């Protein structure tokens, strides 16, 4: 027997607001992947919540921009971060797995870069993310990019590179890239009537134009 969650579950979650510089968005101090994976499939573009007016696609754009600004602010401590080399999301580190991210700063940040942090946001902020993908490939070469794509993480301030290539990281990179390129993943997923019904039940409506 199926036990469906009521539609009200959508709005039952707490929605704390993070402010970083000029950026204001809903976040639980999450690693950047939290802002990416639902958007990999559900096309939230042009939609907002009827009751709250929240636009989740724009929220994730703001989260990505804030994250880049956060990394650049950390460059005083970790000079490997720069305009085209940034991105922290849950990954391995020299000392094991870390669910790191920010802002705000979470424990353990050591200057490592997680390629899928920027690459997974290609569908949100191509103007910020594409230069990172290109720079990582061109500047660090075989150290970070191999037969299957980008490594899980590396540290541009040291010699450390994680030898693992993780499917979940490559997955969000490829899906985000395809959504940017053609939008087909969104198109195919949103063609399912169950998804369209769910989006309606949780109160998503066409976004009202802002003056």
What pLDDT tens digit does each residue of the chain (211 aa) get? 677 788 888 888 889 999 999 999 999 888 899 999 999 999 999 999 999 999 999 999 999 999 999 999 999 999 999 999 999 999 998 888 988 889 998 888 999 999 999 999 999 999 999 999 999 999 999 999 999 999 999 999 998 999 888 999 999 999 999 999 999 999 999 999 999 999 999 999 999 877 6
Instruction: Tell whether 112 is covered by a domain.
Output: yes
Instruction: Tell whether 6 is covered by a domain.
Output: no
Which 3 state secondary structure label does DSSP give 111? coil
Q: What's the whole-model pTM score?
A: 0.94
* 186-190: Cβ within 8 A, 24+ apart: 186/41, 186/42, 186/43, 186/45, 187/43, 189/41, 189/42, 189/43, 190/42, 190/43
Instruction: Tell whether 185 is covered by a domain.
Output: yes
**CATH number where 173 lies:** 1.50.10.140
Instruction: Tell whether 211 is covered by a domain.
Output: no
CA distance 124 to 107: 26
Instruction: Tell whether 11 is covered by a domain.
Output: no
CA distance 25 to 16: 8
- Distance (Å) of CA 180 to CA 120, 150, 166, 175, 208: 10, 19, 22, 9, 23
Tally of structural domains, the chain: 1
Instruction: Tell whether 32 is covered by a domain.
Output: yes
pLDDT the model gives residue 106: 80
Range of the domain at 95: 16-206
Instruction: Tell whether 10 is covered by a domain.
Output: no
Instruction: Tell whether 3 is covered by a domain.
Output: no
């Amino acid at each position: 027997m199926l036990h469906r969650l009521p539609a009200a579950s959508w709005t039952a979650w707490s929605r704390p607001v993070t402010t970083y510089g000029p950026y204001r968005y809903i976040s639980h101090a999450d690693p950047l992947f939290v802002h990416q994976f639902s958007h990999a499939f559900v096309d939230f573009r042009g939609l907002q919540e009827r009751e709250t007016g929240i636009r989740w696609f724009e929220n994730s754009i703001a989260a990505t921009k804030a994250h880049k600004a956060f990394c650049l602010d950390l460059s005083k401590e970790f000079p490997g971060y720069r305009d085209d080399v940034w991105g922290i999301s849950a990954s391995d580190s020299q000392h094991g797995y870390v669910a790191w991210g920010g802002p705000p700063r979470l424990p353990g940040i050591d200057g490592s870069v997680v390629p899928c942090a920027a690459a997974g946001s290609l569908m949100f902020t191509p103007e910020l993310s594409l230069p990172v993908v290109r720079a990582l490939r061109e500047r660090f070469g075989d150290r970070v990019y191999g037969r299957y794509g980008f490594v899980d993480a590396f540290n541009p301030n040291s010699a450390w590179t994680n030898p693992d290539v993780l499917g979940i990281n490559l997955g969000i990179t490829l899906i985000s890239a395809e959504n940017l390129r053609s939008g087909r993943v969104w198109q195919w997923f949103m063609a399912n009537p169950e998804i369209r019904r769910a989006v309606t039940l949780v109160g998503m409506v066409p976004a009202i134009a802002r003056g």
